[in-house]
Amino acid sequence: MASGKAQQLGNDLACLAASISEIAEKIKAMQDYDHDAGYDEPETQEGVPKPDQPKPKAPMLEEVRGVLADKASDGHREAVQALLQKHGAKRLSDIAPSEFGGLIAEARAIQ
């Protein structure tokens, strides 16, 4: 039981580290651009649309499987099965990856 939680924590930390690294690279690139351009702050242009914020990465199958396995091993096996059925599936592999984010949120809410 504890190893599943440790594995999930490891997966979560790896995702967090990847996100932090990506943000750091973007900040560094912005700083390099500002320095090369010869000014400290970019000028604000009214009427120019802002670029879309990057979408958070969708959870991978392994991450969803880990969360569901933790809930099932904590005595919520029936709730996990009901959650899969709610998403129209008998098995996790039958669920579309686009639904993984919502599935994880619902699974973490199980108590």
pLDDT digits (tens, 9 = 90+) for 29-87: 777 665 555 555 555 566 666 666 676 677 888 888 999 999 999 999 999 999 999 98
Q: Answer yes or no: are the C-beta atoms of 41 and 78 closer than 8 Å.
A: no
- Token pair of 32, please? 């390099």
Distances (CA, A) of 25 to 57, 74, 88, 95: 17, 39, 40, 34
* Tokens of residue 33, six digits: 């651009």
**CA 108/CA 104 separation, integer angstroms:** 6
Q: What is the pTM of this model?
A: 0.50
